Copies of this chain bind each other. A is one copy, B any other.
Amino acid sequence: MENFSVTILGSSSASPTSRRNTSSQLVNFYQRFYLVDCGEGTQIQLRRNRLKMSKINHILISHLHGDHFFGLVGLISSLNLFGRTKELHIYSDPRIKDVIDLQLEVSETALQFEIIYHPLNLEEKELIFEDKKLEIYSFPLEHRIPTCGFLFQEKQSFPNIKKTYIKKYQPSIEEIKKIRSGEDYILEDGTVIPNAEMTNEPPAARSYAYCSDTKYFENLHEFFKGVELLYTECTFMKDLQEVASNKFHMTTEDSSKLAKESEAQKLMVGHFSARYRDLTEFSEEMQSLRPGTILVNDNDTVNVRED
């Protein structure tokens, strides 16, 4: 289903390579767009993928390592240049505001729109955004500097009434609401039609978790238990477990363990160290640890659920 998808704008770690930009992803949920991280060149990648930056109203920055936010000020400047007036929400370590403000100040740029900064909670999982159909949570990761991951949780929709019953009884809008929320239907003669008989189970709510940058830690999976699509950073192969842990990054093995523990249905990994010019061995190792894992490439779009 294309109405909940993730486009990879950058999947390199630390520094861009000739094939990969630094971290950024665009989450599309029913044509509402959420940018997750904004490494240098993100605005160029948006343009390359014909994604309208003007449609982005919410930007989530996991942490303030440059490869996750150096593209933010350029994106903001371009939005301003293109005439944005609508407010923009940024969820981040609050120091991002100083970084943006200083750069706008030296360039004597007066924004024509308001930026609303939402400081992330670094202690516990927190709801940071909600609308009719979606909730977004941040949760604390363990990295060298304060860092959060993000969970996009679709709200569970109500059951649908079977068409035959609609036709047969022609319930009012009020009655439809009651049936969809679980009530039985009572005919004028007192006959009770059980709710289960009248309704179809709705599809399970979908979810996407973004987990970068972090080292593996024991309770991490609890923040997104049962997630449908899990993205984790996967900077190193497993022979570099010690390097990974020391640098607060994850390996192929960490990623597969985390996916298993969280009972994720699908795993995709990125944020590969630039040391892996060719990902063949990396991919083989990943597939042997967890078959079907997606190693992302820039400009890939992955649906949270395939039809």
Contact = CB atoms under 8 A, between A and B. Distances in A.
A78 to B, nearest CB: 4
B66 A77 contact: yes
Interface residues of A, number: 38
Contact of A44 (B14, B41, B78, B99): B41
Contacts of A43: 15-16, 40
Interface in A30-56: 40-41, 43-44, 47-48
Nearest to A17: B47
B73 A145 contact: no
A65 B102 contact: no
A103 B67 CA distance: 11
A98 B18 CA distance: 30
A44 B66 contact: no
A187 interface: no
Residue from A47, A65, A99, A103 with most neighbouring chain B CB atoms (10 Å): A103
A22 B47 CA distance: 14
Given A18-B47, A41-B40, A73 B81 contact: no
